[in-house]
A and B are shown apart, each in its own frame.
Chain A
Amino acid sequence: MQGLLKLSRLIDAINDRIGNWVSWLILVMVLVSTGNAIIRKTLNMSSNAWLELQWYLFSAVFLLAAGYTLLKNAHVRIDVVSGRFSARGQTWIDIFGTVFFLMPMSIAFLYLSWKVFVRTYTQHEISGSAGGLVMWPARLLVPVGFFLLTAQGFSELIKRVAFLTGHGPDPVPRGDTRAAEAELAEEIRKHAEGKA
């Protein structure tokens, strides 16, 4: 169990780091897209490569951050029913969901998209539009992203089994999950009081 928990901590650390890195791509996307609009208007030129870069970047964000989002428990759930269960009950649901929902999907995408990537790479496919980007980097993002997601699923599974067998703490912070809003409110309150 301890070895598995070590592995789980390693996966968590990797996905956390990757999530923090790819977040910067959000800022890059914003600037690229703003630049595209301004350059088209002022210089009257537009490049398909730069337009495609926008969605390449976004794909990188949501694919590479898939594991990170799972780590942060930020994928939305419908908790009308499960919200009434105990922490142990919810943990059982998570174990069931990870094994029967997440893993089949993630592994299916991993397997299928890898084949597509290999085809795209060996045939040097380029996007259909004139001056477009080479396609394989974007195609590669899919298997990499689903690999990270599968790994994170495995890590979540370890943490939950450890919790149920008494080898570890409850991996999900229960109760107040809307910390971001509380923090915002605190900041606005400080600002308002500073002014008054």
Chain B
Amino acid sequence: MEFLTANIAPIMFAGLVVFLLLGYPVAFALAANGIFFGLVGIELGLLQPSLFQALPERLWGVMSNETLLAVPFFTFMGLILERSGMAEDLLDTIGQLFGPLRGGLAFAVIFVGALLAATTGVVAASVISMGLISLPIMLRYGYDRRLASGVIAASGTLAQIIPPSLVLIIMADQLGKSVGDMYAGAFIPGITLASLYVLYIVGVTIFKPAWVPALPPEARKLGEPNGSSGTPSFVVIFVLAVIAGALFDRFYYVPKYVDVPLDERLVIAAGAGAAFALAAAMVNRAFKLGLLSRLAEQVVFVLIPPLALIFLVLGTIFLGWATPTEGGAMGATGALVMALSRGRLSLKLTRQAMESTARLSTFVVFILIGARVFSLTFYGVNGHVWVEHLLTSLPGGQLGFLIVVNLLVFVLAFFLDYFELAFIVVPLLGPVAEKLGIDPIWFGVLLALNMQTSFMHPPFGFALFYLRSVAPSRDFMDKVTGKRTAPVTTAQIYWGAIPFVIIQLIMVSLLIAFPQMSLVYKTDLPKGDPDKAFEIPVEAPAAGNAADDIMKDLGGKNDDAGAEPATGKSAEEQAAEDLQKQFGGK
């Protein structure tokens, strides 16, 4: 009995593992674990008998948490978008644009993957569209099968890390930070990761050119009647659009002599450039001027819908017009309007999307509810103190902690999906990270990057699973060439993913080495700008020690109740030191 009393936190944690592995729905297993050990704790006199009276208020906290609204909004948006045909049109056209280059189709897949990722956060849709549209073309013209499937799976998972992604929203919520900051912190790492993919393909074009051949001339559907590719025309319109954006910025903002934040100017200038390109393409088409090549015209037209959605979802946040949640709702409305205008929105599709959204958001919220029941007891028996001791006693301070935690999450991601990780594991790690002086945004982006691998590692990765479901698994007759083409084997899909998982881990290490990539959010945010409609609000922290987190958010120096004063102090000094280092001693 004494043993139980002294070690109830580790025993409870071990019990959780057993409960979860039984294979009953996670949400209820979590809650049952909390209730069971709560009763044990009350019996042992460790907990107040009134413990469970707190449950309704915990649930109320989940209900009134506006950040969670992002879950249904983005899910619904993704479901509508995946049926709207936007991804297919993009892949078709961008494939034509890059196709003539060696490795061009792979670049097109990465580019479209990143673009779709910036529109919404749905991995399945990207991977399935790419597997159906780009993979057959890649196979037809002799791409290496492993590389082709790897690049498709990896580009599809970019949706996880490039804002607006659900992982980042949930991470921000669980770490008690603002979603806008989390987006700003994920931006550079997300783009860098996509660039690393590009770099890898560039390497392949140099060292293994046979893996990534250019499209032969007969495969270029959007060429000009006279045989030219139409690419120069696109370059011209692109440069003109950039100039138009820059000029607009100059004449719109400079006369006012106000210091408008850079992100706002960028959004407006990009919008002006895109509007210019669209106008040019429309005038060209309407009056049959022939000034633009077919390719250029087509590229402009397919790029407008995703850019418009990106503006609705992200642009409005950075302009301060909408909260991140409202951005999701506007994106969903935009997707509805787009699907409607393309004649792809039916009552059946809408109902299906709504019902899937209802089911998915229900199970997500219930995992959170289960996690809150678990944490009520776990924090009650000082489980968080136990976790903290365990992790702060690791050798190597910040670095040691980050390495261990990332390895842990990498392994756990084989078994748990990111909602489970975010709701169960992150609330335990977050406070420890903060105590060690690790910036929560940096930490959150790191974990999000790491969890992205869970979509890609064989054999459980979802992206691989989706790709498997659409890649040809038997010999098939190619419709264009009429040749018998070999299938893509499951082993090829698995092997193809491995280089990209490695790139991913390199990216995690890079971000550990260069936290500045995520810390731009600190300098980026306009401070006290009176012209702004409102500041992006700091979302209410959801972690158990909410008050504690708020104090830290506000830069307060409260002594942590759970830790010995000595550790608390040295951690704080450490934090101050690190901040100074990061900002060059300013």
Give chain A's interface residues, CB within 8 Å of chain B. 19-20, 22-24, 26-27, 29-34, 36-38, 40-41, 51, 54-55, 58-59, 61-63, 65-66, 68-70, 72, 74-83, 85, 90, 93-94, 96-98, 100-102, 104-105, 108-109, 112-113, 115-116, 138, 141-142, 178, 180-182, 184-185, 187-189, 191-192, 195-196
- Rounded to whole angstroms, the CA-CA distance of A59 and B368 in the bound complex is 13
Are the C-beta atoms of A105 and B85 separated by less than 8 Å?
no
Query: How many angstroms from the CA of A22 to the CA of B83 in the assembled complex?
Result: 22
**A136 CA / B571 CA spacing, docked (Å):** 45
A185 with B56: CB separation less than 8 A: no
Q: A66: which of B355, B360, B362 is its contact (CB, 8 Å)?
A: B362
B residues less than 8 Å from A68 (CB atoms): 358-359, 362
Report yes or no: B363 in contact with A27, Cβ–Cβ below 8 A. no
- A-B CB contact pairs (8 Å), 30 listed: A19-B359, A20-B355, A29-B69, A30-B73, A34-B329, A36-B326, A37-B322, A40-B321, A55-B64, A55-B66, A55-B68, A58-B68, A61-B72, A62-B365, A68-B362, A69-B359, A69-B366, A74-B363, A78-B420, A79-B23, A80-B21, A81-B21, A83-B23, A85-B23, A93-B23, A94-B24, A112-B53, A184-B124, A184-B128, A191-B88
Quick check: A74 and B359 within 8 Å, CB to CB? yes
Establish whether residues A113 and B59, one from each chain, have CB atoms under 8 Å apart when the complex forms: yes
Assess whether B469 is in contact with A104, with CB atoms less than 8 Å apart: no
Please name all residues of chain A whose beta carbon is closer than 8 Å to the beta carbon of B350 when the two chains form the complex.
27
In the complex, the chain B residue whose C-beta lies closest to that of A52 is B64
* Ranked 6 nearest A-B pairs via Cβ: A82-B23, A97-B24, A33-B329, A75-B25, A101-B32, A37-B326
Give Cα A179–Cα B420 distance, bound, in whole angstroms: 23
Q: Are A26 and B533 in contact (CB under 8 A)?
A: no
Q: Are B31 and A105 in contact, CB atoms less than 8 angstroms apart?
A: yes
Interface residues, chain B, CB within 8 Å of chain A? 19-29, 31-32, 35, 52-53, 55-56, 59, 63-66, 68-69, 72-73, 76, 82-83, 85, 88, 92, 124-125, 128-129, 131-133, 316, 321-323, 325-330, 332-333, 336, 350-351, 354-363, 365-367, 370, 373, 415-417, 419-420, 465-466, 469-470, 479, 533
In the complex the two chains form, is A101's CB within 8 Å of B415's CB? Answer: no
Name the B residues within 8 Å of A104 (CB-CB).
Answer: 32, 35
- Cβ of B327: which chain A residues have Cβ within 8 Å of it? 37
Contact at B24–A34, with CB atoms within 8 Å?
A: no
Q: A30-B72, A37-B327, A62-B365 are in contact. List 20 more A-B contacts (CB 8 A).
A: A24-B354, A26-B72, A26-B354, A27-B350, A33-B329, A34-B329, A34-B332, A58-B63, A58-B72, A69-B363, A90-B23, A98-B24, A101-B19, A108-B55, A109-B55, A109-B59, A178-B465, A178-B469, A181-B128, A184-B82
| Given A37-B330, A97-B29, A108-B358 contact (CB < 8 Å) | no
Asked if B25 contacts A76 (CB within 8 A), the reply is yes
Interface centre among A26, A41, A65, A191 (most CB of B within 10 A): A26
Q: Nearest Cβ distance between residue A55 and chain B, in whole angstroms?
A: 6
By a CB distance below 8 angstroms, the chain B residues around A113 are 55-56, 59
A101-B28 contact given A30-B73, A80-B21, CB 8 Å threshold? yes
User: Are A22 and B358 in touch, CB under 8 angstroms?
Assistant: yes
Complex CA distance for A143 and B63, rounded to whole angstroms: 13
Which residue of chain B is the closest to A38 with respect to CB atoms?
B330
Residues in B whose Cβ lies below 8 Å from that of A26: 72, 76, 354, 357-358
* Main SS at interface, chain A: helix
CB within 8 Å for A187 and B358 given contacts A94-B24, A101-B24: no
- A21–chain B nearest beta-carbon distance, Å: 10
A31's nearest neighbour on chain B, judged by CB, is B333
A79 to B479, CA, bound (A): 40
A181 with B24: CB separation less than 8 A? no
Is the beta-carbon distance between B73 and A185 smaller than 8 angstroms?
no
B contact residues around A142 at 8 Å (CB): 56, 59, 63
Residue of B nearest to A94 (CB): B24
B75 to chain A minimum Cβ distance, whole angstroms, is 9
| Minimum CB distance partner of B325 in chain A | A33
B66 touches A54 (CB 8 A): yes
CB-defined contacts of A188 to chain B, threshold 8 Å: 88, 128-129, 132-133
How many whole Å from A95's CB to the nearest CB in chain B?
10
Chain A contacts of B23 at CB under 8 A?
77-79, 81-83, 85, 90, 93
Q: How far is the CA of A59 from the CA of B469 in the complex (A)?
A: 35
Q: Given the interface contacts A78-B21, A180-B356, does A108 sit within 8 Å of B363 by beta carbon?
A: no
Contact indicator B362/A102 (Cβ below 8 Å): no
Contact B354 A23 (CB under 8 A): yes
**B contact residues around A30 at 8 Å (CB):** 72-73, 76, 329, 332-333, 336
Residue of B nearest to A82 (CB): B23
A109 to B486, CA, bound (A): 56
Residues on the B chain within 8 Å of A83, using CB: 23
Q: Give A89 Cβ to nearest chain B Cβ, in Å.
A: 10
- Does the CB pair B415–A80 fall under 8 Å? yes
A112 to B356, CA, bound (A): 30
- Check B26 against A61 for contact (C-beta < 8 Å): no
* A33/B359 contact (C-beta < 8 A), A185-B128, A191-B88 known: no
Q: How far is the CA of A23 from the CA of B256 in the complex (A)?
A: 48
User: Closest residue to A27 on the B side, CB-wise?
Assistant: B354
Contacts known (A108-B35, A191-B85); A76 close to B26, Cβ less than 8 A: yes
Query: Given A108-B35, A184-B125, A188-B128, do A37 and B358 touch, yes or no (CB 8 Å)?
Result: no
Q: Which residue of B lies closest to A81 (CB)?
A: B21
- In chain A, what residue has the closest Cβ to B356? A180
Question: Contact: B88 with A192, CB < 8 Å?
Answer: yes
User: Cβ of B332: which chain A residues have Cβ within 8 Å of it?
Assistant: 30, 34
Nearest-neighbour CB distance to chain B for A135, whole angstroms, equals 9
B362 in contact with A65 (CB, 8 Å): yes
Find out whether the CB atom of B132 lies under 8 angstroms from the CB atom of A189: yes
Complexed CA–CA distance, A43 and B238 (Å): 36
Expressed in whole angstroms, the Cα–Cα distance for A105 and B357 within the complex equals 24
A101 close to B366 (CB less than 8 A): no
A112 to B330, CA, bound (A): 37
Question: Which has the most chain A C-beta neighbours within 10 Å: B92, B124, B329?
Answer: B329
Q: Select one of B53, B55, B82, B360 contacting A74, CB under 8 A.
A: B360
